[in-house]
Amino acid sequence: MRARPSSTASHVNRSSELGEETLGDHSWSAFFERYFSDVRTPNTGQEEGVNGDTGVVEKSNIEGTSPTKPSTHVLEFPERPEDFRRRDFRSFHPIQEWEGYVTDIFDQTFRARIVDLTAGGTVEKEEVDLPIADLTNEQREILAPGRVFRWAIGYLRSMAGTKTRHSKIVFRQLPQWTERELAEADEEARRMSADLTRNIADE
């Protein structure tokens, strides 16, 4: 049996970085047990999570498999049953988007240079002061000069049809510098320095 997690797994689904956003959640344990009689989730008392990107059940305890051998079954799921969808489904429709980076932090605000993505901009031609109070606690902890973020203004729509104007700031979860990258960069720098000064040594 092959199964694939539906697009509305237990994580936020984004068709773009800040585009359509569906906030959904469901119980995988109940879903497994209702639809797949040969699948039992571990009796850990915790929700089984699925790595939404790969669809691989990370800690498999599917009956019939060896409990000591890690399983890499890829499960494909049929269309999500109606009664597993949350009723307070919301989506965000951006009207204006910027990408920016923090330049200064003050008591109440932080300053940023921003690129107007909606206008097709490629250079930071504008600057803005934004209230720190609008950030979450987690965002305030990572607020620092150089941090890159996306900022969108648009409408939040509910399933019931109500529309609310909304502003959203998301700090980009850029990757970390890896050991390989730093080593490569340092080697490139040594070669560049040697190229830029070779005649001085020769003289």
Partner 1 sequence: MKPSVDQLEMTLIGPGYGESIVLHVGNGQWVVIDSCIESTTSLPAAITYLESLSVDPAEAVKLIVATHWHDDHVRGMGALVSSCPQAKFCCSSALNRVEFLSMVRRFEKDSTTKVGSGVREINNVFKILTERNELPIFAGRNQLVMRLDVDDTRDERECRIWTLSPSDEQYWKFLFEMASLMPMLKQTKYRCVPQQPNHLSLVSWIEMGEAAILLGADLEETKEAGTGWSVIVASAERPQGRASVLKIPHHGSANAHCDEVWHQMLVNQAHAVLTPWNRGAGLPTNDDIQRILELTRHAYSSARIQLPRARQRNPTVKRQLREMGAKIRSVEPPTGRISLRNGGISDPTTWTVELSPEACHLSQARPAG
Tokens representing 9?
A: 């797994």
* Interface with partner 1 (CB under 8 A), residue from 124, 132, 135, 157: 124
* Interface with partner 1 (CB under 8 A), residue from 2, 107, 179, 201: 179
Window of 11-19, 55-63, 75-83, 124-132 that interacts with partner 1 by CB under 8 A:
124-132
Q: Name the burial class of residue 149, with classes exposed (0-12), middle (13-18) and buried (19+) by CB atoms within 10 angstroms of its CB.
A: buried
CA 49 vs. chain centroid, Å, equals: 16
84 vs 101, beta carbon nearer partner 1 = 101
Q: Taking CB under 8 A as the rule, does residue 136 contact partner 1? A: no
Give me the residues paired with residue 168 across strands.
152
Q: How far is the CB of 96 from partner 1 (least distance, A)?
A: 5
- Measured distance between the N- and C-terminal CA atoms of the chain, rounded to whole angstroms: 73
23 vs 153, beta carbon nearer partner 1 = 153
d(CA 55, CA 70): 15
Please tell me the total number of residues recorded for the chain in this structure: 203
The residues that touch partner 1, with contacts defined as CB under 8 A, are: 95-96, 99-103, 113-117, 119, 121-131, 134, 142, 144-148, 153-155, 165-167, 172-179, 181-182, 184-186, 188-190, 192-193, 195-200
